[in-house]
Amino acid sequence: MPLKVLIVEDSTTTRAMIASAIEVIDDLEIFESKSGFEALKLLPHHAFNLILTDINMPDINGLELVNFVKKNPDYKHIPLIIITTEGSKRDKEKGRPLQPGGGKTGRRGRRKQGGVRVRSLLGDLVRQN
Amino acid at 116: V
pLDDT score at 116: 58
Q: What is the number of domains present in the chain?
A: 1
pLDDT score at 129: 57
Range of the domain at 46: 3-128
pLDDT above 80 (res 99)? no
Contacts of 88 (CB under 8 A, 6+ apart): none
Residue of higher predicted confidence among 86 and 80: 80
CATH at residue 58:
3.40.50.2300
pLDDT above 80 (res 21)? yes
pLDDT score at 15: 93
Q: Which stretches within the chain are classed as H helix?
A: 12-22, 36-42, 62-71, 89-95, 111-128
23 neighbors 49 (Cβ within 8 angstroms): no
Q: How far is CA 116 from the centre of its chain?
A: 14
| Residue 46's pLDDT band (cuts 50, 70, 90) | very high
